[in-house]
Amino acid sequence: MKKVIGIVLASTVSMAAFAQSGTNSPYSQFGLGVLSEQSSGFNRGMNGLGLGFHEGNQVNYLNPASYARLDTLTFLFDAGISLQLTNFSEKGVKRNAKNANIEYVVAGFKAARRLGLSFGLIPFTNVGYQYLAAQALTDQPDATILTNTYTGTGGVRQAYLGIGWEPIKGLALGANMSYMWGDYDRRLINSYSDGSVNNLVHQYTMDIRSYKVDFGAQYTAKVSSKDNITLGLTFSPSHKIGGKPQLQEILTNSQTNVSDTTSYGGNFDLNLPNFFGVGLMWDHNGKWKVGADYTLQQWSTVKFPSYETNGGVSSFALRDNMLTDRHKLTLGGDFCPAPFSRNFFNRIHYRAGVSYATPYIKVYGNDGPTEMSASIGFGIPIINPYNNRSFLNVSAQWVRSTAKNYIQENVFRINVGLTFNELWFKKWKLE
């Protein structure tokens, strides 16, 4: 009972911590924000690979079918944090920013012989940025300076409950049911240095309270005495998620400080698109595990709100061609010399992966940044007199985001995940 209470308390603390943004990217001012890396510690060492992976001692929520292969005797609790340094560069100007964030808290256990369960808290998107752009309105030395200040906070999170079932040997099916919640507050502030023009604020808000369903399947075929190949499939259907996006246009008289507010929107819903995923994993003798994942997110089918002024008439409405389909390809693998060796170094998991992803956002009508990324990681066994099944997963990741004529981002991220593996269900025999 004490362990259960501890897990509930840890999850409650994590929900509060999830309210903090995990990004400083100005690209998070578009769409729902920057899409989060939805993977746990062992996946991150392979740069997020995992649709075909099923580990008895790790929770792989990328594919809920994997829960069916969790170890029968153990209860898994996995929590991860990230530390990142981002370098922004544009036209020879460079800036740095730092972030630290709790990434995920998940748990899993075997409920029956062919049935596994998992639950946890994971991020979906992050919004967090603050920057300004200033320009002189004339060429005179005493010219009025117009300053545009851009700020944004928020993001969307998921609390999920998942099930994985193996109806026949080699075939596993699964599903995650998630409650999604989150909001964003984005502001554009126009101000003038001499106070001759009224200040204008555009404040964009959204508040999501909805659900998300993810389905998964895995089929493992034995191709030789030492080799298995697993095919993994995932699908998440499109549906409305609410949000009621709203724009408030606040005009403040610079002389009297009296404000006039005009509101737009607040009466339409956002949508999530269809998500598809396919992955392959080759397992050689439990030592080498190599795989590839491909995912498609059909954001081009989703309308998104934007503010436009035509002929002196302003409107804030859902419009087409605001987002674009996102494709992502990931290659990676895991090598462990001898998983059950008495030699500590032979039990370490060595991991690596690379990815290429197209954007899902558009920046003022142009495609957003493409991403190239790579990671290396280690799964370090924790061995002591009380427990030799837990792991410390550590990885380093580099992500480069580039878009023509826009800011380039280089992110260096350290991910640390701790997987507690407890023998909760072992039956003791007295003689």
Least confident of 118-127, 209-218, 250-259: 250-259
By CB neighbour count within 10 A (0-12 exposed, 13-18 middle, 19+ buried), where does 134 fall? exposed
Displacement of CA 47 from its chain's centroid (Å): 12
Q: Lowest mean pLDDT of 78-92, 313-327, 384-398, name the range.
A: 384-398
Least confident of 67-81, 295-309, 341-355, 378-392: 378-392
Task: Write out the two tokens for 361.
Answer: 């956002």
Alpha-carbon gap, residue 65 to 217, rounded angstroms: 5
pLDDT digit string, tens, across residues 159-178: 999 999 999 999 999 999 99
Q: What is the CATH number of domain 2-422?
A: 2.40.160.60
Q: Which residue has the higher pLDDT, 343 or 275?
A: 275
Predicted local distance difference test score (pLDDT) of residue 13: 39
Per-residue confidence (pLDDT) for residue 425, from 0 to 100: 52
CA 157 – CA 15 distance, rounded (Å): 9
15: its two tokens: 């929900």
Contact 424, 98 (CB under 8 A): no
Nearest 5°: the CA angle 79, 45, 361 is 85
* Helix (H/G/I), strand (E/B), else coil: 73: coil
- Output the pLDDT for position 339: 85
pLDDT category at 385 given cuts 50, 70, 90 is low
pLDDT at 47: 97
For residue 105, which of 81, 126, 72, 86 has the smallest C-alpha distance?
81
The contacts of residue 51 (CB under 8 Å, 6+ apart) are: 62, 63, 216, 232, 233, 234, 277, 278, 279, 291, 293, 295
The string of pLDDT tens digits covering residues 358-369 is: 999 999 999 999
- What pLDDT is stored for residue 19 in this prediction? 46
SS (HEC) of 257-300:
CCEEEEEEECCCCEEECCEEEEEEEEEECCCEEEEEEEEEECHH
Answer whether residue 420 shows pLDDT above 70. yes
Q: What is the pLDDT of residue 6?
A: 39
Domain ranges of the chain: 2-422
Structure tokens at 300: 């081009």
Mean pLDDT score, 282-307: 96
User: What's the rounded mean pLDDT across residues 8-36?
Assistant: 68
> Model confidence over 173-188: pLDDT tens digits?
999 999 999 999 999 9
> How large is the average pLDDT for residues 63-69?
97
When pLDDT is cut at 50, 70 and 90, the band that residue 426 belongs to is low
Token pair belonging to 227: 């080799």
CA 384 to chain CA mean position, Å: 33
For every residue of 141-153, DSSP letters joined together read TTPPEEEEEEEEE
Q: What is the pTM of this model?
A: 0.90
Least confident of 11-25, 64-78, 405-419: 11-25
Is the model's pLDDT at 83 over the cut of 60?
yes
Average pLDDT of the chain to the nearest whole number: 89
pLDDT at residue 10 above 50?
no
pLDDT at position 21 is: 57
